[in-house]
């Protein structure tokens, strides 16, 4: 009966409503009061794990309407140098679209970072935190290939590197000389000896002293002369052979010698053609000086590119994996409808960062639609950097946009302009032989760049009120430095093209033109000295290699004298002389016979009364 009288409860739970109200109140209060400390702890732990060093945060504020987060006074210790902050800022505030966050997209409506500074000193040394992920990928930046010093090589270095014709021709001459010398020696040995000459002398005297009184005597004389003639014929042939050998050898040696004499000049021409001797412009003064600086910026840009690239790749991988797992689970099919506002995985719609550079210059970095999936909204990300200077006339602006497509390729283009920028103590080149520092200058310039698989950039920079100082350790470097210190203004054109990671750099400057005349004169003198020195060395090399000194040449001439003497010695025993002698003797005998007949005739005619 008791049960029947009991009032049945209504469909609404009054106690439940109260419980709901209390629960919502408690949750809201807990969120309101605990969210900020919880977020601070979460951010600092996350950053400490990511950077591997202590992170200090003054406070974190959470705004609920619109939903957002503000981090106040963040200092991130540099893990490599604990006494320094890697970066710090006064405040970073971000307003986030909560609904998009719930869907999984980080849509930051506005992100502002105030007073961002890098590499600042810490009041107290920070602590190193052991990171869970030690796989940090560092980007090695090798030495610039463009840096190279200005060095005029020594004559010895030039000769050592060159493939010298002089050496080859010297060897050829030496070989010719040795061959021809051997042949001449053999022919000289075949010349009549002194004994042979004495013998000829004795034979000749005997012939001379031969009294020709009768035809028998004449016949005997004729025989003696024929014997002498036969002996002489062999020796004369030897002289003749020596003579023609000498002629042939001399021709060969002369040719080789002439070639050798011409070789040093040919060598010098070869050396000269490979060196910027006649055209000091080729020494690319501006490239040598500014090459390092430009390369430095390119390396920085490449570092940034390499830093961003993994995020893009990782994003692509995650998406691919998501797709794969969805396929595996077979939990239905996602049907896509056209969204009026599509958002990438993360995006910063408005970005504003106030950066304080180490030289205390303030820069305002702004951005719109910053993300790495531009294809989602088909909207490029825009960025700009502006110098916030208090100095009148000083300005620097850079603005550009980039687009990351579906395959993760980045294309970007933009332009920059600067005017009245004060350059304080800027090291331009620090090579082994030349250190150039721009102590002060006023920089103005403009340029544009475009990266679409290939890099293309044209930049013009002009420097005024320039004061260049430095140190030089070589003669040419000193020449360059001397000339540079006289420069008060110059323009610089820097063009880049080719692959982003290894672009071709072309640096042209009217500095080259300004310096050219002075440089050319001085460099020409230096090269002229080098030319003389190198040629002298070539000559020395020639003599040393050749070993063809005056004594050798005298020896060569002696051969000539030898065969001339032998020829002279035998000249009186010549065919004509011997025939003449014989004819004289014949004539003498004839005359004698005539006289004798005359006398006989006179005697006989005396009887007839004549």
Instruction: List residues near other proteins by CB under 8 A.
Output: 3, 6, 8-13, 15-17, 19-20, 23, 99-100, 102-103, 331-341
- Minimum CB distance to other proteins smaller for 3 or for 453: 3
Show Cβ contacts of residue 406 under 8 Å, excluding neighbours closer than 6 positions.
375
- Minimum CB distance to other proteins smaller for 102 or for 230: 102
- Minimum CB distance to other proteins smaller for 14 or for 123: 14
Smallest gap from Cβ 305 to other proteins, in A, equals 34
Nearest in space to 111 (alpha carbons), one of 348, 280, 338: 348
- Minimum CB distance to other proteins smaller for 100 or for 114: 100
**Cβ distance 547 to 176 under 8 Å?**
no
Smallest gap from Cβ 316 to other proteins, in A, equals 22
Structure tokens given for 584: 């004289």
- Minimum CB distance to other proteins smaller for 324 or for 601: 324
Asked if omega into 66 is within 30° of 0 (cis), the reply is yes
**Cβ distance 431 to 147 under 8 Å?**
yes
- Minimum CB distance to other proteins smaller for 330 or for 603: 330
Smallest gap from Cβ 31 to other proteins, in A, equals 16
User: How far is Cα 105 from Cα 157, in angstroms, rounded to an integer?
Assistant: 66
User: How far is Cα 123 from Cα 581, in angstroms, rounded to an integer?
Assistant: 127
Smallest gap from Cβ 62 to other proteins, in A, equals 20
- Minimum CB distance to other proteins smaller for 16 or for 142: 16
Smallest gap from Cβ 9 to other proteins, in A, equals 6
- Minimum CB distance to other proteins smaller for 163 or for 340: 340
Smallest gap from Cβ 22 to other proteins, in A, equals 10
Q: How many degrees, rounded to 5, is the angle at CA 474 between CA 472 and CA 478? A: 50
- Minimum CB distance to other proteins smaller for 32 or for 99: 99
Smallest gap from Cβ 17 to other proteins, in A, equals 6
Specify whether the backbone of 26 is left (phi greater than 0), alpha (psi in -120 to 50) or beta: alpha
Smallest gap from Cβ 96 to other proteins, in A, equals 14
User: How far is Cα 89 from Cα 43, in angstroms, rounded to an integer?
Assistant: 15
User: How far is Cα 236 from Cα 241, in angstroms, rounded to an integer?
Assistant: 9
Give the rounded distance of the alpha carbon of 72 from its chain centre.
50
Give the rounded distance of the alpha carbon of 468 from its chain centre.
25
| CB burial readout 209-224, b (16+ within 10 A) else e | ebebeeeeebeebbeb
**Cβ distance 387 to 395 under 8 Å?**
yes
User: How far is Cα 242 from Cα 220, in angstroms, rounded to an integer?
Assistant: 34
Smallest gap from Cβ 381 to other proteins, in A, equals 24
């Amino acid at each position: 009966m008791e049960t029947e009288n009991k009032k049945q409860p209504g469909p609404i739970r009054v106690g439940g409503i109260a419980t709901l109200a209390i629960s919502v109140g408690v949750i809201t209060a807990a969120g309101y009061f605990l969210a900020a400390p919880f977020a601070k702890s979460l951010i600092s732990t996350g950053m400490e794990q990511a950077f591997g060093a202590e992170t200090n945060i003054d406070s974190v504020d959470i705004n609920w309407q619109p939903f957002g987060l503000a981090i106040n006074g963040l200092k991130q210790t540099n893990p490599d140098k604990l006494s320094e902050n890697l970066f710090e800022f006064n405040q970073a505030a971000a307003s986030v679209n909560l609904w998009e966050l719930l869907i999984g997209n980080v849509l930051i409506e506005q992100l502002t970072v105030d007073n961002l500074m890098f590499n600042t000193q810490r009041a107290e040394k920070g602590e190193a935190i052991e990171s869970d992920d030690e796989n940090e990928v560092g980007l090695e930046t090798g030495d610039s290939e463009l840096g190279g010093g200005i060095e005029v090589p020594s004559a010895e270095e030039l000769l050592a590197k060159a493939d010298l014709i002089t050496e080859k021709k010297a060897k050829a001459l030496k070989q010719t000389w040795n061959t021809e010398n051997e042949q001449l020696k053999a022919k000289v040995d075949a010349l009549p000896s002194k004994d042979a000459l004495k013998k000829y002398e004795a034979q000749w005297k005997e012939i001379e002293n031969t009294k020709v009184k009768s035809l028998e005597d004449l016949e005997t004389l004729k025989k003696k002369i024929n014997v002498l003639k036969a002996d002489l014929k062999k020796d004369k042939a030897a002289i003749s052979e020596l003579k023609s050998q000498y002629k042939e050898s001399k021709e060969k040696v002369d040719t080789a010698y002439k070639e050798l004499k011409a070789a040093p000049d040919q060598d010098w021409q070869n050396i000269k053609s490979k060196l910027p001797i006649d055209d000091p412009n080729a020494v690319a003064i501006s490239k040598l000086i500014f090459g390092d600086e430009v390369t430095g910026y390119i390396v920085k840009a490449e570092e940034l590119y390499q830093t961003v690239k993994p995020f893009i790749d990782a994003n692509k991988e995650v998406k691919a994996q998501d797709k794969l797992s969805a396929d595996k689970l077979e939990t239905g099919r996602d049907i896509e409808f056209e969204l009026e506002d599509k958002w990438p995985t993360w995006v910063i719609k408005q970005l504003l960062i106030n950066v304080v550079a180490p030289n205390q210059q303030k820069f305002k970095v702004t951005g719109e639609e910053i993300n790495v999936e531009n294809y989602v909204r088909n909207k490029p990300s825009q960025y700009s950097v502006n110098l916030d200077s208090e100095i009148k006339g000083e300005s620097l602006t850079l603005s550009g946009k980039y687009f990351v497509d579906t395959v993760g390729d980045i294309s970007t283009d933009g332009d920059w302009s600067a005017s009245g920028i004060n350059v304080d103590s800027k090291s331009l080149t620090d090579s082994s032989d030349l250190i150039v520092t721009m102590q002060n200058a006023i920089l103005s310039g403009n340029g544009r760049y475009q990266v679409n698989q290939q890099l293309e950039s044209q930049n013009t920079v002009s420097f005024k009120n320039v004061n260049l100082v430095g140190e030089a350790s070589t003669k040419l470097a000193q020449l360059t430095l001397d000339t540079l210190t006289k420069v008060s203004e110059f323009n610089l054109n820097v063009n880049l093209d080719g692959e982003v990671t290894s672009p071709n750099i072309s640096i042209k400057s009217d500095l080259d033109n300004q310096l050219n005349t002075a440089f050319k004169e001085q460099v020409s003198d230096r090269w002229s000295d080098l030319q003389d020195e190198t040629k002298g060395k070539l000559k020395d090399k020639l003599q040393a290699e050749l070993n063809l000194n005056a004594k050798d040449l005298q020896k060569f001439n002696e051969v000539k004298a030898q065969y001339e003497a032998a020829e002279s010695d035998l000249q009186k025993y010549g065919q004509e002389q011997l025939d003449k002698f014989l004819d004289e003797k014949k004539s003498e005998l004839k005359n004698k016979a005539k006289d004798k007949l005359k006398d006989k005739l006179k005697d006989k005619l005396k009887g007839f009364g004549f």
